[in-house]
Structure 1
Amino acid sequence: MSQSESRKQSESNGAGGGKQPNPLVQSLLPLVVDVGVPMASYYLLSDGFGLSEVAALAWSSVVPALRTVWSLVRRTGVNGLALLILVVNVVGLATSTVTGDPRLMLAKDSVTSSVIAISIIVSVYLGKPLMTAGLKPFATKGAPAGEAAWDRLAAGSVPFRRAERRFSLIWGIVLLTECVVKGIGAYTVPVHTMVWLGTVLTVVAILVAMVVGGGSCADPMEKMVKAEVERVAGTATGDAGAVTSAAPAAGAAG
């Protein structure tokens, strides 16, 4: 393939990639649904419609639960983590509703966060970091060449694999810390205050994980992927040039 043809193919891939969903939007949308919507719903139902704290908390949990169910239904396979989170939510909601304890309903969110955090940490030591699912599209930009470079680095680069594991470990530790703080706050801070404070803690935890994990892991991994793509492209160009220069020589010898 000539350089002009390679350039056209790259431009074509880039144009097609522009139609793909934005990874950042895909990552933030669940946050808006699972954090922002319940908080807004709680205050609307509590202050606007006069519902009790238990009722407002219960109804504000419906939207995240429906989103989890939808994410399970539209997948071809079963997402074990999403299913576990749904079960924890349903059991916690049912228990806290029966007991009529709004603080237990707030603590339920900490249990859910701890399930996610512990699962992420355990996945690192099992050699299958859970956060890789969101990290890989960011580092490869969804391009076939980038994904191939990722696979090569994951198979043969110790620094790359170390950064991949560290990224998930950072997220797991930050989320676990957040869940402990929220669990303490559920029983020490007024319920009406803890609803928005819990949201703030979640957003801060995610921002901290993004900054720390991005700077120490995601950005270096993205650069490694880019360098690997350029290395392979340069090798392919050199091989093509060698073949082209060898052809006239072979003709002259004939």
Structure 2
Amino acid sequence: MTTNTKRANLAPLLVDVAVPVGGYYLLKNGFGMSTLAALGWSSVVPALRTAWGAVKERTVNGLAALILFVNVVGLLLSLVSGDPRLMLAKDSGVSSAIGIGILVSVALGRPMMTAAMKPWVVKGDAGREEAWGRLASGSARFRRAEKVFSLVWGVVLLAECLVRVVGAYTLPVDTMVWLGTVILAVAMALGFLLSGALAAGPMAHMVIAEAKGSRSTAGTPVPVQV
């Protein structure tokens, strides 16, 4: 395991997710900015990352684009006011935006949640990093599991959104104020459980086996022709 490899794996998560999300809460709760202002300023990093990828690298940075999309949805929903049930229902808008973005990435053959999962599978180990690359390019089973991981999260988040919207319009407002948090927590737990069992776990086993096989092959002495 090398520190440089580990940092390289975690860097996209820190820049594309932790910085804008952490920035939002820091600006809103730490500096007392309004929701609208905090969302706007925290959108700067993902907006720049998305623009840089499109112009310089001729690719779309999936995580940065997703965070930007979520922030834009949040900005639009922050303008909604008045009806308390509508205010409760709008809280699920972020989940639906993320879920839709993830499902679209799967349909395009570029599952977005891979960037979030990979660091925890390779664990900064150079051998596992190389094994991941070989499997990603040569194993249909591995690529299928990669898509399943993102698919599970997309479906779970959309289902969580649907349940909260239904609850917002069928249950008492006071009940949904606390129940919404419970629903989100259950959805997250379900997402981790299903994605781990159906995709992340099998992928980790494949990566470990591939890395061990590569090391065994590398350590096998080559017969000398006499």
TM-score for both structures, normalised by structure 2: 0.75
Q: Which residue of 2 aligns with 1:52?
A: none
Cα distance in 2 for partners of 1:221, 1:212 equals 13
Cα distance in 2 for partners of 1:72, 1:203 equals 28
Q: Which residue of 1 aligns with 2:45?
A: 73
Cα distance in 1 for partners of 2:126, 2:47 equals 22
Listed as ranges, the matches of 1:16-55 within 5 Å are: 16=3
Identity %: 45
Is 1:101 matched up with 2:83?
Answer: yes
User: 1:140/1:72 Cα in 2 relative to 1: closer, same or farther (>3 Å)?
Assistant: farther
Cα distance in 1 for partners of 2:176, 2:33 equals 14
- Structure 2: unaligned runs, 5 residues or longer: 51-63
Q: Which residue of 1 aligns with 2:212?
A: 230
User: 1:19/1:136 Cα in 2 relative to 1: closer, same or farther (>3 Å)?
Assistant: closer
Computing the radius of gyration from Cα coordinates, the structure with the larger value is: 1
Listed as ranges, the matches of 1:97-176 within 5 Å are: 100-176=82-158
Cα distance in 2 for partners of 1:139, 1:73 equals 27
Q: Is the 8 A contact 2:122 2:129 kept in 1?
A: yes
Structure 1 stretches (4+) deviating beyond 4 angstroms? 17-21
Cα distance in 2 for partners of 1:184, 1:104 equals 11
RMSD, aligned CA: 3.3
Q: Is the 8 A contact 2:46 2:67 kept in 1?
A: no
Cα distance in 2 for partners of 1:195, 1:68 equals 26
Amino acid at match of 2:66: L
Q: Which residue of 2 aligns with 1:202?
A: 184
User: 1:74/1:212 Cα in 2 relative to 1: closer, same or farther (>3 Å)?
Assistant: closer
Cα distance in 2 for partners of 1:61, 1:143 equals 42
Q: Is the 8 A contact 2:111 2:150 kept in 1?
A: yes
Deviation at 1:17, TM superposition (A): 7.4
Amino acid at match of 1:177: A
CA deviations 1:27-58 (Å, max 9, x no partner) are: 9x97xx89xx8xxx9xxxxxxxxxxxxxxxxx
User: 1:18/1:142 Cα in 2 relative to 1: closer, same or farther (>3 Å)?
Assistant: closer
Comparing both structures, which one devotes a greater share of its residues to helix? 1
Cα distance in 2 for partners of 1:74, 1:155 equals 28
Deviation at 1:188, TM superposition (A): 2.0
Number of aligned pairs?
200
Q: Which residue of 2 aligns with 1:182?
A: 164
Q: Which residue of 1 aligns with 2:76?
A: 91
User: 1:138/1:121 Cα in 2 relative to 1: closer, same or farther (>3 Å)?
Assistant: same
User: 1:74/1:169 Cα in 2 relative to 1: closer, same or farther (>3 Å)?
Assistant: closer
SS in structure 2 opposite 1:107? Answer: helix
Cα distance in 2 for partners of 1:229, 1:206 equals 30
TM-score for both structures, normalised by structure 1: 0.67
